[in-house]
Chain A
Amino acid sequence: MKKTLIVASALLAALTLFGCAKKAEPVAEPAAVEPYKVAFIYIGVPGDLGWTHEHDVARLELEAALGDKVKTAYMENVPEGPDATRIIRQYAQDGYDMIFATSFGYMDPMAEVAAEFPDVKFVHCSGYKTSDNMSVYFGRIYQARYLAGIVAGRMTKTNIIGYPGAFPIPEVVRGINAFTLGARSVNPKAQVRVVWTNTWYDPVKEREAAVALLDAGADIITQHQDTVEPQKAAQERGKLSIGYDSDMRKFVGDTVLTSPVWNWAPYYIDTVKRGIDGTWKTGSYWEGLSADVVRLAEFSPLVPQELRDEVAAVKQKIVGGSWDVFTGPIKDNAGKLRVSDGARMSDDELLSLDWFVEGVVGKVQ
């Protein structure tokens, strides 16, 4: 009986496709208050951990926080480039009020669509193009990376830390540099070795890169991609690691000392609230530890208390705003002085960073 039903409904469906699509158009039910419609464009799938997962967790928190006032939707696995234009435009056309695009490569597509839909608000993660109805946001995850670097610098015995890098772009380079500065602030002998995988998510390649680094003597592994394979590879060799994006200790175990993680929910909730009450304005949001948009995940029991205190003290210094990670003197890994003593790198410089600091072994291709 059930089968018949399924077949019958499928047959009906087939007829609909050949019939007039307009007939099937849903009739909007009269609602007391139209919910504010928010769409998210994802580069990956939400899954259990990683970059997209963290955005999706925040989306769900947004729904929980605003209840009936908001309706969210998302599209996963959207390739960066020409395909994204169509997806973003589709949401705009479908009457969404605010669209979040959560990867750098959506910048040009979003800017193109934003020009066509002045009444829709476009919010782009990690880019630099803004307009009257398009703003950008990002988090200073490098601050959390710096703290993680301190942990690694203190805990390494071989003074070699392995770092499979995702892509040689400023965001990743910034993370590697901050991590290295952190490690060397407590251990000047520490060295960070980088291997590029040119992937955001490729368990096999990322594991291979980690294994190569372990073979080269690394006793702590961290990385920039969305898998826990590097951390697992380290664990299998009895070595330590530091996660990224999500609290990877939950998936690997206590050999993951800590993880720099994202916490987008406060920003999403605030931004959507502004959209609803009409106070939203374009602009550029780039906050860090002080706004709690980035964090350091809970420490593993393997991290001693005095090291936790040390990290907490540095965190206070950053949160206070008197000092930031990229304050000179900073030399590049060819020995040239890039930031003079006491000078602070500007956001523009940070956003286009294309050189490694002293202590990184590797090349920005």
Chain B
Amino acid sequence: MSLVFEKRKSVSRTAIVVVPIVSFMASLLLTGALLAIFGADPMATYASMAKGAFGSWRAFTETLVKAIPLMLTGLGVALAFKLRFWNIGAEGQLTLASIAATWVALYWNWLPGPLVLPVLVLVGCAAGALWAGVPALLKTRLNVDETLVTLMLNYVALLLAEFLYYGPWRDPKGFGFPGTMVFPKEAWFPRIAGRAHIGLYFAIAVALILWFVLNRTRWGFELKVIGNSPKAARYQGIAVERNIMLAILLSGAICGLAGVGEVAGISRRLQQGMALGYGFTAIIVAWMAQLNPLAVPFVALLMGALLVGGDQVQMTMGLPSSIGTLMQGMILFPMLAGSLFTEYRIKRIGAQAVRESETGAA
């Protein structure tokens, strides 16, 4: 008797719900063992993590602060991944959008006050779209691999931001330290609670719209076909290149929205410590959500909780900061591995079947 993996004919609905939960439990067990090795009480650590992320209203708003950019970049990345367009440039799209938003906030002084925020959002999204548009254009026109282009454009955007806040945009009253001036009040995102800002509404709206577009419209159907097989799509007369281009511009714009939220909602200036890797974590968020736009906000919230709760590992348990990062990895592994079981199932095959397959092979 032996066990084999067999691809499920259709993705199991039960598995979609059960597998992530079981995986999460498995992660907690693994991480608990890790913590025990380091001499920390796993139970106390988890309790303090949960308390750190959800224990008070204020803690919860901080979890939201982390979750908002993860939701938006997660959605942007998920859309691109649906098309099998490997956009790993969300970080760059986020950064360029934050640069563009800063430009509007600080230098478009001719804008009447009430228009500042809408224009800032639009210009920021456009910048994100532009940054995603470059690899999309190269991919659709010249078949250049998008993985490399999106990855490398991250660094271009990050260095551009660094150049600006060290150079021409440096706050003249900042004692020479790197960072722009603080935005005027008209360019601040209203905050909902604590530091959580209206980016949350944007994220939820984008999730709903994206789900609707992907599942209930013709365009969404076309994108799915392209994702499954560009050849088949072309055969059906779908404008593959044009659709990829449009979808990736949209993906970049959504990632850009995250960057707008970071500068207009949180730091209210362009400065060091902005690029915290949300664009990269977004890839994990998108995969964990199995590219389902409605699942992304929840996964992002969980990731946000891990990031915020992870601080507690250091603060209350006195473990080194690297343990926090290690724990995040430990928690993700089984979850990603678990997704195997939503698409495959384990089948027991009897001795006879094995013998048969052996003879077949011979």
Which of A's residues lie within 8 Å of B, judged by CB?
A: 6-7, 9-14, 16-17, 21, 24-26, 45, 73, 75-77, 79-87, 89-91, 93-94, 104-105, 128, 167-170, 173, 198, 351-354, 365
Contacts and interface: CB of A to CB of B under 8 A. Distances in A.
Which 4 pairs from chain A and chain B are nearest by CB? A10-B32, A81-B273, A24-B47, A14-B28
Contact of A13 (B43, B262, B308): B43
Interface string B165-209: 011000000011110000000000000000100000000000000
B267 A86 contact: no
B31 interface: yes
Contacts of B58: 89, 93
B114 interface: no
Interface centre among A16, A75, A84, A85 (most CB of B within 10 A): A16
B43 A91 contact: no
Contacts of B32: 6-7, 9-11, 13-14
Given A86-B308, A90-B52, A24 B44 contact: yes
A353 B175 CA distance: 8
A352 B175 contact: yes
Interface residues of B, number: 50
Given A6-B33, A14-B32, A21 B54 contact: yes
A45 B65 CA distance: 25
B315 A365 contact: no
Contact of B25 (A14, A16, A89, A170): A14
B315 A90 contact: yes
A87 B311 contact: yes
B50 A81 contact: no
Interface string B315-338: 100101100000000000000000
18 contacts: A7-B29, A9-B36, A10-B31, A11-B32, A14-B28, A17-B28, A17-B49, A17-B50, A73-B318, A80-B271, A81-B274, A82-B65, A87-B311, A87-B315, A90-B52, A128-B175, A169-B178, A352-B176
Given A45-B321, A168-B166, A365-B167, A80 B273 contact: yes
B33 A83 contact: no
A75 B50 CA distance: 18
Given A10-B29, A17-B50, A169-B177, A76 B276 contact: no
B46 interface: yes
Contacts of B178: 167, 169
A170 B175 contact: yes
A10 B28 contact: yes
Given A7-B32, A17-B49, 17 more contacts: A7-B29, A13-B32, A13-B47, A16-B47, A24-B43, A45-B321, A76-B320, A80-B271, A81-B272, A83-B273, A105-B177, A105-B271, A167-B178, A170-B175, A198-B162, A353-B176, A354-B176
A93 B62 CA distance: 13
Interface in B262-318: 262, 266-267, 271-274, 276, 308, 311, 314-315, 318
A91 B316 CA distance: 10
Nearest to A79: B273
B157 to A, nearest CB: 16
Interface centre among A21, A73, A84 (most CB of B within 10 A): A21
A90 B31 contact: no
A285 B5 CA distance: 68
B29 A14 contact: yes
A47 to B, nearest CB: 10
B113 interface: no
Contacts of A173: 176
Contacts of A17: 28, 46-47, 49-50
B166 A365 contact: yes
A73 B162 CA distance: 32
B320 A45 contact: yes
B276 A83 contact: yes
Interface centre among B35, B177, B266, B267 (most CB of A within 10 A): B177
Contacts, number: 132
B315 A75 contact: yes
For the complex, would chain B's binding face be called helix, strand, loop or mixed by DSSP majority? helix
B176 A75 contact: no
A256 to B, nearest CB: 28
Nearest to B174: A352
Interface in B51-104: 51-52, 54-56, 58, 62, 65
Contacts of B28: 10, 13-14, 17
Interface centre among B42, B45, B48, B276 (most CB of A within 10 A): B42
A170 B29 contact: no
A290 B173 CA distance: 31
A104 B174 CA distance: 11
Given A73-B315, A93-B58, A104 B177 contact: yes
Given A6-B32, A9-B36, A90-B52, A16 B321 contact: no
B54 A80 contact: no
A351 B273 contact: no
B42 A13 contact: yes
Contacts of B272: 80-81, 105
B314 A76 contact: yes
A82 B307 CA distance: 14
A84 B51 CA distance: 19
A10 B175 contact: no
Contacts of A104: 177
B304 to A, nearest CB: 11
Contact of B46 (A16, A82, A91): A16
Contacts of B42: 9-10, 12-13
Contacts of A81: 267, 271-274
Given A7-B33, A12-B43, A104-B177, A84 B321 contact: no
Contact of A105 (B162, B273, B318): B273
Nearest to B309: A17
Contacts of A94: 315
Contacts of B166: 167-168, 365
Given A16-B46, A82-B266, A10 B62 contact: no
A75 B47 contact: no
A82 B311 contact: no
Contacts of A13: 28, 32, 35, 42-43, 45-47
A335 to B, nearest CB: 22
